[in-house]
Amino acid sequence: MNLIIDVGNTLAKLAVFQNDELIDKVQSVLDDFEINFEILLKKYPKIDKGILSSVGLLNNKQLQLVQKSLNVLILNGETSLPFINNYKTPQTLGVDRIALVSAAVKNFPTQNILIIDVGTCVTYDFLSEANHYLGGAISPGLRLRYTALNNLTANLPLLTKEMPETITGDTTKSAIHSGIVNGILFEIDGVIETYQNKYSNLTVILTGGDANFLSKQLKSSIFAHSNFLLEGLNHILQYNSNE
């Protein structure tokens, strides 16, 4: 059994896999990480190995507990991956992007894949049908765009995301919603179209916190389920265990 640990800024996801099957998942605030970690180990005594993503967000006590309790793989730029990484600065490639590409390798082999993660940032990652990761792009996400308009201008208000009813805003608020939401939709559709013109057999995967908000307005994409990143981390662990 595998224990997958994905640590965010305030929350940690702990997932138990039996081979490729997710059998349990717990979401924990970081202050309760040790309690939930030990509960899972007691509940599933057959857990024998794990993978840890975003290790720098755990404190020393939490990290020592994990390393003492498990044969744990710490994901970083030197980890062996189930794809050929052509990124010129692998040490700067985010572990979340690595995990998403690994999930795509597992679920959509021998296809050209564009993974779009819409969260704080919008990240685009491209994997060729020959299993080469070529890189992608990073741009501001919805919340960053709303915040930037408020912070960097004198009079524009800070708004929360809202799907615009029309492209032509007739108030300052509706104009902001139109500019930001339609702008990000046009950007994503434009990137998809550019890749489709260049690569045949293209699979487009949409994931991230704002994926559900945007997905119905996008022309062509596959909406990834919420465990996609965890599946990618498990695939990396399986790949390293079989080497």
SS (H, E, C) 51-77: EEECHHHCCHHHHHHHHHHCEEEECCC
Q: Helices then strands (H, E): number in the chain?
A: 8, 11
Give the lowest-confidence range in 172-176, 182-186, 197-201.
197-201
Domains 2-74 and 84-232 equal at CATH topology level: yes
- Average pLDDT score over residue span 136-142: 97
H-helix or E-strand spanning residue 135 = strand 132-140
**pLDDT tens digits for range 40-52:** 999 999 999 999 9
Taking the CB of residue 234, how many other CB atoms lie within 10 A of it? 27
The pTM of the full predicted model, rounded to 2 decimals, is: 0.90
Give residue 201's pLDDT band: very low, low, confident or very high (50, 70, 90): confident
Contact (Cβ atoms closer than 8 angstroms) between residue 65 and residue 72: no
Taking the CB of residue 77, how many other CB atoms lie within 10 A of it? 14
145 labelled binding-site residue: no
Give me the catalytic one of 20, 24, 48, 96.
Answer: 96
The mean of the pLDDT values for the chain is 93
Does residue 125 carry a catalytic annotation? Answer: no
**pLDDT tens digits for range 174-184:** 999 999 999 99
160 labelled binding-site residue: no
With vertex at residue 204, the alpha carbon angle to CA 202 and CA 206, rounded to the nearest 5 degrees, is 175
Residue 9 φ/ψ region, left for φ over 0, alpha for ψ in the -120 to 50 degree band, beta for the rest: alpha
Does domain 84-232 fall under CATH 3.40.50.1820? My reply is: no
**pLDDT tens digits for range 70-93:** 999 999 888 999 999 999 999 899
Domain boundaries, the chain: 2-74, 84-232
**pLDDT tens digits for range 26-42:** 999 999 999 999 999 99
Does domain 2-74 fall under CATH 3.30.420.40? My reply is: yes
31 labelled binding-site residue: no
Residue type for 139, please?
A: S
120 labelled binding-site residue: yes
The whole-number pLDDT of residue 209 equals 86
